[in-house]
Structures are given as structure tokens and as C-alpha cells.
Structure 1
Amino acid sequence: MKNFNTNTTNADEWLTPQNILSALGPFDLDPCAPINRPWDMAARHYTVDDDGLSRPWEGRVWLNPPYGTHTFEWMERLAEHREGLALIFARTETRGFHSTIWNKAHSVFFFRGRLRFCRIDGSQAQSANAPSCLVSYSEADTVTIMRAQDRGDIQGRLCLLQRRAVAAGEE
């Protein structure tokens, strides 16, 4: 089983399309924001210079983490924070997906088709090289996804997950 997402173009910064942010926001913090960005993803931003993984997270987080070997470190941090949404590749077979999403998330929304991310200059890139998903660790964020889907702002399939802690009566 693989433990990483691949990024074949080796580009580090891919922006979430504005329509997705508008459908799911507002957000208080983006801990993975580009230094130079054509639009804001949240009210506050940490860039690579700030080391958002080690900084305090407050409020509702928008997480479009670096895709690669460290993706699931960011997902673990969001699982602990439990307030916000993450946009990642739907690499459902990986160890990281199993440990930080299948075993901890409240829901996963699988987008219909491939997303077209944006470059840091705001222009639209070609379709992503893998399918994408939204990950929620709270009921409130799952409801936000459901409302966006009901309005037709996003298209795909929402899967509610049985978290192990709840199933075991540990929560």
C-alpha cells in the first residue's frame, strides 16, 4: 500500500477554484496558503514561511495541503482540530487515507470528474491527474457539504463514515 499522493508536475502550489471556496466557506484559517495568491482562501493565512503545520490553528480551517509525502501529516492535524474541510486527491488505497480519513473522518465527498485547480497567478490549469475529495471531521462541515451539493455548487457523492471511536462507544 502506498503512503503518498503523487504530483507528477512537481508544482507545489495549486489553488482551490474560487467557486468551491465560495460554496463551502467562509473559513477562518488557511494553513497552507501560497505566499503570493490572487485571492484569499480564508480570513487568515499561513504560508510555507510560517510553517502552518506547527502553528496554532483556530476556527474553521480550509486545508488544501501540499500533495506528496507529507499530505497525511496535515490531514492528521485537521483530524485533531476537527473544524474545517480538506481538499486532497482521493487516494483511497493509501495507508495515510486509511489512518487519517477512513478511520477518523465524519464524511468524504468524492467530486464527479477531475477538478481543474488554479495556478498561483489565478489562471486555470489542466484537469488534475487524479480524482479529488473533500474530507470533513465534523457534522457541521458535513452539513455544509450537503447544502453545497443540494444547491448544485458541487457535484459528486457524499459518503458518511462510521468513526471507530463512536462505534466503540469511546466518544
Structure 2
Amino acid sequence: MSINKGLFTSTTDLWETPQDFFDVLHSEFNFETDVCALPENAKCETYYSPDDNGLNQEWRGTCWMNPPYGRKIGEWVKKAYESSLNGATVVCLLPARTDTAWWHDYCMKGEVRLVRGRLKFGGSKWNAPFPNAVVIFGERAKVDTLKAM
């Protein structure tokens, strides 16, 4: 049995959101802004491209975020969380990296929906080599808090 080494490496940290997956969430949240997109894969009419640098923008309303999955992902998740403190709702498609500091520092403060199976990102031949989660920050998040007994 041979293993395709291409499944475990990537030449990019940009993973285009599958349209059908986005459509289900869009019907629930009615997104206004895609805070991290390329012109050819933006999911909303209003979007921030790398030239706009979404990290330097003010996020308002209901936002969709599928950030680059590289070393700066923690900065994007922090921005999503902090934007929610200022009134935005930010719905994030993220790799489910539950062992990372950014996951514990921010994602655990939002609503976490684990994605069953592996997504096939736009333009990809294969399913992602990692599990995903949708993390929701803001008033529309349903967060259950555990209370000490």
C-alpha cells in the first residue's frame, strides 16, 4: 500500500472554502463581509484581500473568516475574538488544532462546531489532511459554560 505524500504537505496555506459548506452557514448567519479572501474566491460582495490586509481592518456586522492556515493563524483568530468583543459576529472555518495556544486562548471562548469528516477545499483533488471546526464568536454564539460544583 502506498501513501500519497502530497496528502500531508501543502504548497499553500490558503484553502478555498467549499461553496456548498459556506452556503449552509450563510443561510444561518447571512454574512456581510469575508474578512480574508482572494478576489477569485471571495464569499461575500464585501471582502478584504491580502492587499487590504484584513488584520488591519475594523470588522463589523456578521463576518466570514477562512484564514491562511499558516503561522499567522493565531493572529487571525485573536482578531476574530477581539472583533466579537466590539460587537461583530465572526464565524471562522479553522483547522481543529486543539493542542495550540490560539485554540485554547480564543476558540474555547466561542461556540465550537466540529466538522464531521474531512472537507474538500475548492480546487483540491483530495480531502484536507486535517480535521476542521467552525468557531463562532459574538452574540450569536451558543456557548455553554461549565459551572463548578
Fold similarity call, TM over 0.5: yes
**Is the CA contact (8 Å cut-off) linking 1:117 and 1:127 kept in structure 2?**
yes
Q: Relative contact order (alpha carbons < 8 A, sep ≥ 6): 1 or 2 greater?
A: 1
Q: Does 2:137 correspond to 1:133?
A: no
State the AA in 2 paired with 1:13. Answer: L
The normalised TM-score by structure 2 is 0.80
Query: What's the C-alpha RMSD, in Å, of the aligned pairs?
Result: 2.1
**Is the CA contact (8 Å cut-off) linking 2:80 and 2:90 kept in structure 1?**
yes
Q: List runs of 5+ in structure 2 lacking aligned partners.
A: 1-7
1:92 alignment counterpart? 98
State the AA in 2 paired with 1:84. Answer: V
1:38-60 deviation line (CA, Å, top 9, x unaligned) = xx412301111111110121211
- 1:21 alignment partner, SS class: helix
**Is the CA contact (8 Å cut-off) linking 2:15 and 2:122 kept in structure 1?**
yes
How does 1:85-164 map onto structure 2 within 5 Å?
85-102=91-108, 104-105=109-110, 107-119=111-123, 124-142=124-142, 160-162=143-145
**Is the CA contact (8 Å cut-off) linking 1:84 and 1:141 kept in structure 2?**
no
User: Aligned partners of 1:52, 1:20: CA distance in 2, in Å?
Assistant: 22
2:64 alignment counterpart? 62
State the AA in 1 paired with 2:15. Answer: W
1:19-41 deviation line (CA, Å, top 9, x unaligned) = 1111111211111101333xx41
2:3 alignment counterpart? none
1:79 alignment counterpart? 81
1:3 alignment counterpart? none
**Is the CA contact (8 Å cut-off) linking 1:27 and 1:43 kept in structure 2?**
no
1:65–1:73 CA distance, 2 compared to 1 (3 A): same
Select the residue among 25, 32, 37 that pairs with 1:33.
37
**Is the CA contact (8 Å cut-off) linking 2:66 and 2:92 kept in structure 1?**
yes
1:50–1:162 CA distance, 2 compared to 1 (3 A): same
User: Aligned partners of 1:65, 1:161: CA distance in 2, in Å?
Assistant: 25
1:17 alignment counterpart? 18
What is the percentage of aligned positions where both structures have the same residue? 33
User: Aligned partners of 2:139, 2:56: CA distance in 1, in Å?
Assistant: 25
